[in-house]
Structure 1
Amino acid sequence: MRKKNTIKRISNLISTLLILTLIAMTLIVISSRISGDEPQLFGYQFKTVLSGSMDPEFSTGSIILVKRVNNTNAIIKGDIITFKQADKNLVTHRVVEAVKKDGVTLYRTKGDNNENADMSLVSPEKVVSKYTGFTVPYAGYLVNHAGSPIGVAILLIVPGLLLLGYAFLTFRATIKEIESRTKSLNLQLEDLQK
């Protein structure tokens, strides 16, 4: 009896994890499709690292978690920020200095792996987000692939197929248990009739 309860709990846990995975993947795909950008959830956004300028903090192909910055006054030296360059590209570098100019705080940034600081100072309106400290090495390659039509299909179909397969196995186990109980009851009835 105890073994069945443990198996049932594990089964429920697996079902819950598969459902949550399917929901999360669906939200990530929808979010990235709507925004045309990296996946975003609850004000946090996943950014893919495309260069080695921040080695060893995070490597090329990693995913970093950033949070949108609402108050740039809270940014201090040592923070890692994502900002827009003049060409609209996003860059993630460390703040090495805060510079006051005409009453506005500008940020001097530098990639940890770069010899020199960035040429241009970053104005507050160019700051997009701040690094949270969470990194998943090499997962960025998967996320970049997720933006393609094949990637979207994989992210939605694979968890769905896993959930269907698990439901089939659970259904099959339930049928076997019902058959076993029916057989047991039939044997008991036969014994009573004798």
Structure 2
Amino acid sequence: MKKALKIVFNVIAWVVLIFALLITILVFSSDKNNGTASLLGYVPLTVESDSMKPTFKKGDLIISKEIDDINSLKKGDVITFWTLIEGKKEKNTHRIAEVLNDNGSVGFITRGDANNADDTYTVYAGDIIGQWNGAKIGGFGKVMDFLRTKTGFFICILLPIALFFLFELYKLIATIIEVKRPAITESDEEEIKRRAVEEYLAQQKEKEEENAQQEKNDK
């Protein structure tokens, strides 16, 4: 039972470490790429509005895939792109409503699924971050946003990593102590057992003598 619990604890520790390292990579990748994290061409994004309901909603985490061929995009695809919202450069994820092709220059008119009208701007190849691959995790975008804060990074990433390495250090020290401890041979075990039996018999004899003396005194 003890061995099984040890194995389970080790597995959990490694899972936590891998998760923490993965989030660390995403966070640092995001910081170095204008706030857009990318891992092997996949871009995790937090949905910032309800303009794409019911496909996904604010607070969801979605995954977009970087695009190799802009000409592969078609009407109905959902793309993530840079745009200006109230004068500020922001990421947006909307569905392609129309594909424009002006002498080889490809552009896209987009619209949110919850909107009644197309967006007022045209999205060009240089604006596109990736194409949504259909993956989403409801509400997990808020978790990712928290992990990007200093508090979230410390509690959910730095602290688990520190605890993991402290645990591994403890196991290493325990192993070293165990190796340095003199090995008990079979003859040593027999001697320990013999002494234990002798001590037990001596204690029993002493109790019997005390009882006999007590009975004698009572008479």
Same fold (TM over 0.5): yes
Aligned mate of 2:51, from 53, 58, 81: 53
Partner SS, residue 58 of structure 1: coil
In the alignment, the residues of structure 1 paired with residue 65 and residue 9 of structure 2 have an alpha-carbon distance, to the nearest angstrom, of 35
Q: Which runs of 5+ in 1 are unaligned?
A: none
Displacement of 1:55 in angstroms is 0.7
Displacement of 1:165 in angstroms is 7.1
- Structure-2 residue corresponding to 1:18: 16
Tell me how large the CA RMSD over aligned residues is: 3.4
> Whose Rg is larger?
2
Q: Which amino acid letter does the alignment assign opposite residue 101 of structure 1?
A: D
Q: TM-score by structure 2 length? A: 0.70
Alpha-carbon contact 2:21-2:157 (below 8 Å) kept: no
Partner SS, residue 122 of structure 1: strand
Partner SS, residue 76 of structure 2: coil
RCO comparison, higher one (Cα < 8 Å, 6+): 1
In the alignment, the residues of structure 2 paired with residue 26 and residue 103 of structure 1 have an alpha-carbon distance, to the nearest angstrom, of 40
Instruction: Calculate percent identity across the aligned residue pairs.
Output: 26
Alpha-carbon contact 2:67-2:131 (below 8 Å) kept: yes
Aligned mate of 1:32, from 10, 24, 30: 30
In the alignment, the residues of structure 2 paired with residue 38 and residue 188 of structure 1 have an alpha-carbon distance, to the nearest angstrom, of 68
Q: Which runs of 5+ in 2 are unaligned?
A: 199-219
Alpha-carbon contact 1:109-1:118 (below 8 Å) kept: yes
Aligned mate of 2:67, from 69, 90, 95: 69
Displacement of 1:18 in angstroms is 2.6
Displacement of 1:21 in angstroms is 2.0
Alpha-carbon contact 1:47-1:64 (below 8 Å) kept: yes
In the alignment, the residues of structure 2 paired with residue 171 and residue 13 of structure 1 have an alpha-carbon distance, to the nearest angstrom, of 17
Q: Which amino acid letter does the alignment assign opposite residue 125 of structure 1?
A: G
Q: How many residues are aligned here?
A: 189
- Structure-2 residue corresponding to 1:189: 191
In the alignment, the residues of structure 2 paired with residue 11 and residue 40 of structure 1 have an alpha-carbon distance, to the nearest angstrom, of 31
Displacement of 1:170 in angstroms is 6.4
